[in-house]
Structure 1
Amino acid sequence: MRIDMTDFFEDKSEQVIEYRFKDPQRAYDICCEILEHGAETNDWYEISYAHLYMGDTLFSMGRLAESIEHMLIGEKVQKEYGYDDLLMKNYNITAIIYMTQGDDFLALDYFYYAMELAEQYGNYVLQGLIYNNIGVLLHNRGDASSAAWYFEQGIKVSRKKGIEDKDIVFDERQFYINMSGKYIEEKNYLKAKEYMDIATTQYDGKQTSVSEVSIMSAYAVIYSGLGNEPALYDICVKALHLPREAYGEVESFEDYLDIFVALMKIKHIGEAEQLLHILSEVCERNDIIKHKVRLCEAYIELYETTGNYLKLNKTYHEYYTWKKKLEQEKKQAVITAIDNRCRLEDEKTRNAKLTADNRELSRESEVDELTGIYNRYGIRRRFRELYKIAEVDDQKLCMAIFDIDFFKEYNDQYGHLQGDACLQKVARILQKTASNLFFIARYGGDEFLIVGINKTNDEIECFAQNLLNNIREARISFQYSPIVPQITISFGAVNAKVEDNLDILDFVYNADKVLYKVKEKGRNNYMVIEME
């Protein structure tokens, strides 16, 4: 980590931070000056800093492939020379880029590396940003409830006193914007507006163009949901009159498409078409094929509404051309993701930091193919995340395991195809019962795992009773069961404060012992104990 700083670098680095969002091209050009100066003076800190923010600004301009190249070069130099202050930010930005490309698993890996360093150095602001970014990832995947938890953790952690980092700021407005997004997802527009109003009225300071567009887009969806057309049109017009650089931000593209949808809904076709023309110019300057596909979809809606069938046919042709390229890009992204994972695994092996469990995680899917819920690899990943949180916040973790009573006999009587169907039904009941309160997985065979954080024993027992009741009410026939002529389960759980020397296998082992006690007492029941 560097302490001394030349006047040249101090001046130029301040300019990079000033312009990185409002004028990424200018910030990129300044980074090029820093890179050149670093090469001339053999200053590897300046070189790695330049690559970090060249990658960052290229990402803002939509040039993702070039962006990743610079991030990886910067990462290599930062590791070699121990520039951890830059490396933790590099990891966070790289994760965001991979998230934008659709590789959420690799993004989570990088968020984890960033969090490790941020915790090591007490950079609470960066920790808050990482929590917030993971929340965005989960929200994009449709898990609004889990996302809200991460948003709340982000604002909570960011307020702690730690090292000062002039390059990063946790904008608390973003918490309220994100929470508003959660309620928009739930179609609770009044609650969404309440959070958005807090974001716009209780926090002073200049907003970035990205946050301005994000706010206006959210208000557009809210006013549309509330049926307030005058307010909806007013906010759309404000968004249209933002500076042109706002349109060029990668993060703003989907927000502007929301503005387009709103304008179409209230029949302001001229403004909607004007917006698409501007976004077309933006798309011509970046290499994000997904945006080109989305733009074609918007034009198709426009031309179908206006009856311009000549342009509609032409746009359909463009749409299918870009759609085909997008499919090719996705296939290439899978290959690239595999290559990146191989690179990470090789590096971890050289550093003797890779455990056998991590090697399995990198090779295996985290979703059970039969039931569609987590498999053992996925739940291990989630368990580690929750464990770290529970450790920091001094909370309890619970682990439950249940299996289907006499399932071997069920398979023998009905056959394995019927057995698979039974597992799928039980998994669906488990999903519905767990909702967003617990994380669930099929551990193997007919064994299922449930993990929760900050739960009381009474809450776990209530969940277990509901699960048994729901399975009983499903009446999955099992005429040969020694208990009752339908499927039943046995459920064992432990609840414990986390300790440094515990891992998931300790929790599984102890939960399994509780499950064994349930079976000894006749099955078709549950038991929850405090783990010693």
Structure 2
Amino acid sequence: MSKTIFEEIYIMLNEAKKLSTINPDKSYEISNEVYSMAKKNNLNAEEGYALVSKAFACRAKSEISKMLDYSYNAYEIFEYLQDMLGQIKSLNLIGIAYFYSSMYEESLKFLLKVKDMLDEFRDDFLLSCVLNNIGEVYRECAEYDKALEYYNSALDICVSNNYKINTASLFSNIGEIYFIENKFDKALKCYTKSYDILKVENDMVVLGEIENKLGKVHYMYNNYIKAKEYFFSALRRLDSINNKFYAIDVLENIAKMELEIDTEKYLFYYEKAIQYAEEINAKKKLSQMCKTVADYYEKIANFRVSLEYYKRYCRLNEEIMTSNLGNKLEVIKIELGYLKETDKLEKIRIINHRLEMEISNQKRELEYIKRSNEILEKKALEDELTNIPNRRYINYYLNNTWKESLLKNETIALFMIDIDNFKKYNDYWGHLKGDVCLIKVANCIKDIQIHKNIFGRYGGEEFIYSVKGITYDQALEVGNTIRKEVEKLSLDYMSNNKDMVITISVGGVIGKASFLNDISQMVKIADEELYKAKDMGRNITIVKNLLNETMMR
């Protein structure tokens, strides 16, 4: 075998490694070419290292099942060849693949095995990487003391050997633990050390990441000027290299900061972050942001918009959970394919238990989402004060009623109801009592149940009541019943030194959908009748009969 082929293979593998995070597709293409060359020339070790290189590229592309498959395949080759370095590299990647699949116990098992192997086959650079990876697993499991222990061990090695990029990364990771624990002084020291190293190296992605973290610390210190400086510097860096993945986090942090100053800017930055997430199909980030924006709109009682975002969050979350379960099943399938027959039975038992737990957790999560969605759906269609249908739901219902009436040729009676002199009641008792009055009136009318009726708050002290399939005389009776029942509440107040009680005026209309253009025309007529009732002295019911008018034509 000529020396030239070996040289060419390792030159290509080095090139693929450099490209793995910048251009993973090109990295994979080069690695695949090396793999074909190695197979053709029966170069087993090089075939294994080509598989490792392919796994690195798949890691950057988030193709985790492929990453695991290539890593296991490489490990089998290296185990047969008794190539310790190759075994270490492939096992480390297997551990990382399990980590990305949220299978932390499996991940830790492989990473600790690699650590033990590195005690015999000393490679400080690889050992620092593995120790960092173990720290990452413990951090994800919220075991922060353990995570710090491994991060610091890795840091000692990196400082001793002057591994600058790894040193900066570890300072950043340690700072993140301190940030989570609200130890902001310690977090700031670690982030600053990382930043000082990275400024010299001039890696735009990691610089953008660390500037974002520095911005978060200064924001926690209420130093908004400094926080803004770091956030916008990070955003410029990441935008300059079109890295939208990390830019999303920066935009979210800017949005959170703007919420305290300018709500319009808050929504602008969140919308931009959502746009980035859509463009790169970052479903997990997109899901979390939709939930955040839904919560914001719910907090300001804009339930309609909140519901739209929450439904989107639910849909994305279901997609993510389905995808995660599919990925885990794919990972397990690959795992079983590489097991020795003697190990399979016990492994299948463990896997079955793991899947049962996973399915149970997903069912719980979906149930929680379903319940939250139902609550928000109710809020979006329900008046916040009186807990009766709001204008949005009333309009939706009346439009459907209109369509049904056209098909069935049913009559529709519609009443506009307004509380008389409500301002005087409010002025006399105050707004809190005014709210109680609205609730009592709403409950009173709500209790007047008639077949095929709908009742809701249309705005302020105005309500709407609609019934299908009744005659004009019945409609007039319904309007008067509503009016009299409200008067019976005896909600008293004083006006011009006179004892008064709350009354209502009712304007109604009865007809058929075929007589009019649309439901809004019917609402307009009922509203006109309501104003006639007001002009005639209030506490009056007037119902316009379109049925008679139509028959006379």
Query: Normalized against structure 2, the TM-score is what?
Result: 0.54
Taking the aligned partners of 1:330 and 1:187, their CA distance within structure 2 comes to 31
Counterpart check, 1:323 vs 2:322: no
Residue number among 177, 192, 216 corresponding to 2:211 in the alignment = 216
Indicate if the aligned counterparts of 1:99 and 1:107 stay in contact, CA closer than 8 A.
yes
User: What residue number does 1:414 align with?
Assistant: none
Residues 24-173 of structure 1: matches in 2 within 5 Å? Answer: 24-158=24-158, 171-173=166-168
Matched position secondary structure for 1:242:
helix
Taking the aligned partners of 2:154 and 2:341, their CA distance within structure 1 comes to 30
Specify the structure having the higher radius of gyration (Cα): 2
C-alpha spacing 1:271/1:359, structure 2 compared with 1 (3 Å): closer
Indicate if the aligned counterparts of 2:274 and 2:286 stay in contact, CA closer than 8 A.
no
Aligned-partner residue type, residue 88 of structure 1: I
User: What residue number does 1:185 align with?
Assistant: 180
User: What residue number does 1:19 align with?
Assistant: 19
Taking the aligned partners of 1:147 and 1:40, their CA distance within structure 2 comes to 44
Matched position secondary structure for 1:219:
helix
Indicate if the aligned counterparts of 2:252 and 2:270 stay in contact, CA closer than 8 A.
no
Deviations 1:451-475 (CA, angstroms, capped at 9, x unpaired): xxxxxxxxxxxxxxxxxxxxxxxxx
Residue number among 272, 297, 302 corresponding to 1:274 in the alignment = 272
C-alpha spacing 1:100/1:169, structure 2 compared with 1 (3 Å): farther
Counterpart check, 1:199 vs 2:197: no
Taking the aligned partners of 1:47 and 1:240, their CA distance within structure 2 comes to 41
Deviations 1:80-120 (CA, angstroms, capped at 9, x unpaired): 33333222122222212211221100100110222133222
C-alpha spacing 1:52/1:323, structure 2 compared with 1 (3 Å): same
Deviations 1:102-140 (CA, angstroms, capped at 9, x unpaired): 110010011022213322211122112211111122122
User: What residue number does 1:247 align with?
Assistant: 243
Taking the aligned partners of 1:294 and 1:112, their CA distance within structure 2 comes to 32
C-alpha spacing 1:212/1:202, structure 2 compared with 1 (3 Å): closer
The structure whose RCO (Cα within 8 Å, separation 6+) is larger is 1
Indicate if the aligned counterparts of 1:48 and 1:77 stay in contact, CA closer than 8 A.
yes
C-alpha spacing 1:332/1:317, structure 2 compared with 1 (3 Å): same
Counterpart check, 1:10 vs 2:20: no
Taking the aligned partners of 2:305 and 2:29, their CA distance within structure 1 comes to 39
Indicate if the aligned counterparts of 2:195 and 2:207 stay in contact, CA closer than 8 A.
no
Shifted more, 76-85 versus 306-315: the winner is: 306-315
C-alpha spacing 1:203/1:66, structure 2 compared with 1 (3 Å): closer
Deviations 1:388-428 (CA, angstroms, capped at 9, x unpaired): xxxxxxxxxxxxxxxxxxxxxxxxxxxxxxxxxxxxxxxxx
Deviation at 1:146, TM superposition (A): 2.0
C-alpha spacing 1:237/1:149, structure 2 compared with 1 (3 Å): same
Residue number among 286, 296, 316 corresponding to 2:290 in the alignment = 296
C-alpha spacing 1:342/1:62, structure 2 compared with 1 (3 Å): closer
Indicate if the aligned counterparts of 1:151 and 1:179 stay in contact, CA closer than 8 A.
yes
Taking the aligned partners of 2:95 and 2:313, their CA distance within structure 1 comes to 29
Indicate if the aligned counterparts of 1:48 and 1:78 stay in contact, CA closer than 8 A.
yes
Aligned-partner residue type, residue 278 of structure 1: Y
User: What residue number does 1:429 align with?
Assistant: none
Indicate if the aligned counterparts of 2:159 and 2:167 stay in contact, CA closer than 8 A.
no
Indicate if the aligned counterparts of 1:176 and 1:198 stay in contact, CA closer than 8 A.
yes
Aligned-partner residue type, residue 99 of structure 1: F
C-alpha spacing 1:104/1:34, structure 2 compared with 1 (3 Å): same
Aligned-partner residue type, residue 11 of structure 1: I
Taking the aligned partners of 1:169 and 1:43, their CA distance within structure 2 comes to 34
C-alpha spacing 1:298/1:238, structure 2 compared with 1 (3 Å): farther
Taking the aligned partners of 1:338 and 1:7, their CA distance within structure 2 comes to 37
Aligned-partner residue type, residue 283 of structure 1: N
Aligned-partner residue type, residue 185 of structure 1: I
Taking the aligned partners of 2:332 and 2:66, their CA distance within structure 1 comes to 19
Taking the aligned partners of 1:155 and 1:254, their CA distance within structure 2 comes to 26
Taking the aligned partners of 1:42 and 1:256, their CA distance within structure 2 comes to 51
Taking the aligned partners of 2:113 and 2:348, their CA distance within structure 1 comes to 16
Aligned-partner residue type, residue 22 of structure 1: I
Taking the aligned partners of 1:210 and 1:348, their CA distance within structure 2 comes to 46
Indicate if the aligned counterparts of 2:234 and 2:250 stay in contact, CA closer than 8 A.
no
Write 1 or 2 for the structure with the bigger share of helix: 2
Taking the aligned partners of 2:155 and 2:253, their CA distance within structure 1 comes to 27
Deviation at 1:159, TM superposition (A): 5.6
Deviation at 1:145, TM superposition (A): 2.0
Deviations 1:356-401 (CA, angstroms, capped at 9, x unpaired): 9x99999999xxxxxxxxxxxxxxxxxxxxxxxxxxxxxxxxxxxx
Indicate if the aligned counterparts of 2:208 and 2:238 stay in contact, CA closer than 8 A.
no
Taking the aligned partners of 1:205 and 1:216, their CA distance within structure 2 comes to 14
Query: Normalized against structure 1, the TM-score is what?
Result: 0.56
C-alpha spacing 1:321/1:204, structure 2 compared with 1 (3 Å): closer
Aligned-partner residue type, residue 184 of structure 1: F
Taking the aligned partners of 1:362 and 1:313, their CA distance within structure 2 comes to 38
Taking the aligned partners of 1:58 and 1:103, their CA distance within structure 2 comes to 18
Indicate if the aligned counterparts of 1:263 and 1:272 stay in contact, CA closer than 8 A.
no
Taking the aligned partners of 2:27 and 2:95, their CA distance within structure 1 comes to 21
Indicate if the aligned counterparts of 1:96 and 1:133 stay in contact, CA closer than 8 A.
yes
Aligned-partner residue type, residue 317 of structure 1: K
Taking the aligned partners of 1:151 and 1:328, their CA distance within structure 2 comes to 33
Indicate if the aligned counterparts of 1:71 and 1:90 stay in contact, CA closer than 8 A.
yes
Matched position secondary structure for 2:281:
helix
User: What residue number does 2:519 align with?
Assistant: none
C-alpha spacing 1:49/1:257, structure 2 compared with 1 (3 Å): farther
User: What residue number does 2:221 align with?
Assistant: 226
What 5-or-longer segments of structure 1 have no aligned partner? 351-355, 366-532
Taking the aligned partners of 1:359 and 1:157, their CA distance within structure 2 comes to 39
Deviations 1:238-279 (CA, angstroms, capped at 9, x unpaired): 222234667366x88767755654555664433443233122
Matched position secondary structure for 1:6:
helix
Indicate if the aligned counterparts of 1:118 and 1:127 stay in contact, CA closer than 8 A.
yes
Taking the aligned partners of 1:97 and 1:256, their CA distance within structure 2 comes to 29
Aligned-partner residue type, residue 233 of structure 1: K
The alignment of Structure 1 onto Structure 2 pairs a total of residues equal to 348
User: What residue number does 1:238 align with?
Assistant: 233
